[in-house]
A and B are shown apart, each in its own frame.
Chain A
Amino acid sequence: MNRDDLIDFVYDEAATIDQMHWDDWLALFHKDGRYWMPLEWQQEDPILQPSLMYEDRLLLTVRVERLAGERTFSQKPKSRCHHLMERPRILSMGEDGGVHRLRTSFIYTETRGDLLERYSGWVSHELVEVDGALQIKLKRIDLINFDAPFSNIQLFI
């Protein structure tokens, strides 16, 4: 893996979400991968400190299948989303047990009916190589205003 491969992965992952190719997106996660949205500044513990989300593949699968459900009333009309990202910064390239770490500044927008909600923050990726392909071991989203009372966030930052 070279630097461009890592950076492209982060951009492509966001594009997969924006295009709502949910199955492709889930397939990017390692079997033990996690999606984490902390509720505290520089939070260290996802288990004994409160988080907005800390989900494994099973729970992410539930979310994705829910979005397609006939009786998912909060998705009538369906939400759409948009990631605007700075160039990812590579923090480490496999030196630490084969984990590649990147941090990317973003502005994320999600619709709900006629409403448009905007969120800003940083996404951190911990990527590992499995059979020559990159997989997400951890995707962490730190919002600048994690402690503010939001309305529904239904898709994925």
Chain B
Amino acid sequence: MDRYRGNSQAIADLVKGHAVHRDVYVNAEIFELEMEQLFPNSWIYIGHESQLKNTGDFITSKIGNQPVLASRHRDGQVYVLHNRCPHKGVKIASEPCGNTGKFFRCPYHAWSFKTDGSLLAIPLKKGYEGTGFDADQAAKGLTRIENVKIYRGLIFVRLAKEGLSFEEFFGESLSTIDNMADRSPEGELEVISQPIRYMHTCNWKMLVENQTDTCHPMVAHESSAGTAVSVWEREKDNFTETPMAVQLYAPFMSPYEFYEGAGIRVWPNGHGHTGVSGSIHQDYEDVGGYQDMMVEAYGKERAQEILGDIRHNTIYFPNIMVKGPVGILRNFIPLGVDKTLVESWVFKLKGAPDKLYERGLMYNRFINAPTSIVGHDDLEMYERAQEGLHSNGNEWVNLRRLWEDDEPEETTEVVNGTSERQMRNQFYAWRKFMVQNMDQAVEAAE
């Protein structure tokens, strides 16, 4: 039963701004359409260039539910390819990363492909002579994705042939990625370890919304951060300095007033961030020698500007979050309408002291791990919501906090930090990219 397919009005009606219909979280057809429309129409993060240092290096990823791989070819370029043999559809690469040598070889029938995706060889080739194979899509090899952009080392891909350019799509929001990379004295980020992975039985958008939900930490995390603060208050006389761990946990218990003043900035196309003029990352202890390195690299004024930008969470719509000050990127990978894999990566700042990487890794395991007490608090809320939304008592999720009647949809603006504006901003973009070209696609099919 298709309620939404080909019906862009029905999809648009799910987003009222100050409310969204629960079907965006629980309806399987909507999830399918997200995979067909929203993810292909958007620029999706698939990995970092530093994971592809050498010729033949590859990584695998997904865009929505479609498996892709990226590989470093001998011409030095990164190619992003559909991870599926043109013969029978078998995934060519199965591991998260590796080096394939000079070519990929399908494990099923030994079709082989160069690392730019082009067909290299098929065993017993004469069986295809005179069969018309040359005109098949299969003869071209692994299907290449044309719209690829590497920005400060981060690899983004748009599957749809037509759509917004990378620069149009992200606009000024790229300033957060810039700030994260600029925190390296060499201006470069590096991935040197695997992410922390955490399985969530909830819709992926709940996780994305939670990143700019500043009215939940002091409530949901009273159990974790609140306990950390109370244990520290009791025990601190036994310590000579405040441990890094306490510096990371304690700000989660900041009061509403703090978050109100810290502000939220929204950008067009669903991007936005918390922590405009203050954030939970602002009071970490200085790391010895780092300030001097930054001044040396950038000059005093610029170094202060970079380190003074302490943005909290930046949403890159649709499904990643970047935390500049601790060098973390979280990828919310949709697996099903109620199943989401979260992969949380820590970047190493090239040329910076190890202590910064240590802090990033510590933050990641405290907040983003299946063994994280803060994560336990959040997952409990998502899963209860996923169940609760099946209630027919109310079909709508309320997003009216600090709503204004004439709220503009495609704009750059700084608002009160406890506003639900960024969540609404994401849903305006969600509606836009869900229905983009949908009516044309339906007409073409008819």
Contacts and interface: CB of A to CB of B under 8 A. Distances in A.
A40 B195 CA distance: 11
B203 to A, nearest CB: 15
A74 interface: yes
Given A59-B245, A152-B379, A51 B365 contact: yes
A136 B195 CA distance: 29
Interface stretch (A1-9, A63-71, A84-92): A63-71
Contacts of B220: 73
B199 A62 contact: no
Contact of A50 (B196, B245, B354, B381): B196
Nearest to B345: A50
A54 B195 CA distance: 16
Which of the listed residues A74, A147, A150 has the most CB atoms from chain B within 10 Å of its own CB? Answer: A74
Contacts of B224: 62, 66
Contacts of A52: 196, 365, 369-371
Nearest to B224: A66
B346 interface: yes
A72 B223 contact: yes
Interface bracket on B? 35 or more
Given A48-B354, A62-B227, A66-B223, A74 B377 contact: yes
Interface in B46-88: none
B371 A73 contact: no
23 contacts: A37-B371, A47-B358, A47-B361, A48-B354, A50-B194, A52-B371, A58-B245, A62-B224, A62-B227, A62-B228, A62-B231, A65-B227, A66-B373, A69-B223, A73-B223, A74-B376, A74-B380, A149-B198, A150-B197, A151-B198, A151-B379, A152-B375, A153-B370
Contacts of A73: 220, 223, 377, 380-381
Interface string B229-252: 011100100000001011001000
A147 to B, nearest CB: 6
Contact of B373 (A47, A63, A149): A63
In order of increasing CB-CB distance, the 6 nearest A-B pairs are A149-B197, A74-B380, A150-B370, A72-B223, A149-B199, A74-B376
Contacts of B243: 58
Given A50-B365, A69-B223, A149-B197, 6 more contacts: A50-B194, A52-B365, A65-B227, A65-B231, A71-B222, A74-B380
A150 B199 contact: yes
Interface residues of A, number: 31
Contacts of A72: 223
A35 to B, nearest CB: 10
Contacts of A148: 197
Contacts of A153: 370-371
Given A147-B194, A150-B370, A50 B199 contact: no
Given A53-B365, A54-B365, A59-B245, A40 B373 contact: no
B194 A39 contact: yes
Interface in B261-280: none
B214 interface: no
A19 interface: no
Contacts of A59: 245
Given A48-B358, A152-B375, A69 B227 contact: yes
Interface of A: 37, 39-40, 47-54, 58-59, 61-63, 65-66, 69, 71-74, 147-154
B235 A58 contact: yes
B367 to A, nearest CB: 13
B341 interface: yes
A54 B370 CA distance: 13
A143 to B, nearest CB: 11
A66 B235 CA distance: 16
Contacts of A61: 231, 235
Contacts of B222: 69, 71
A78 to B, nearest CB: 13
A150 B373 contact: no
B218 to A, nearest CB: 11
B370 A152 contact: yes
Interface in B365-407: 365, 369-371, 373, 375-377, 379-381
B219 to A, nearest CB: 8
A39 to B, nearest CB: 7
Nearest to B227: A66
Contacts of B245: 58-59
Nearest to B249: A62
A142 B243 CA distance: 26
A76 to B, nearest CB: 8
A54 B369 CA distance: 12
A48 B349 CA distance: 13
B190 to A, nearest CB: 13
B357 interface: yes
B193 A40 contact: yes
A39 B376 CA distance: 18
A118 B361 CA distance: 26
Interface in B197-219: 197-201
Interface in B169-209: 193-201
B379 A74 contact: yes
> Among the interface residues A65, A148, A152, which one has the most CB atoms of the partner chain B within 10 A?
A152
A58 B371 contact: no
B319 interface: no
A36 to B, nearest CB: 11
Contacts of A50: 193-196, 346, 361, 364-365
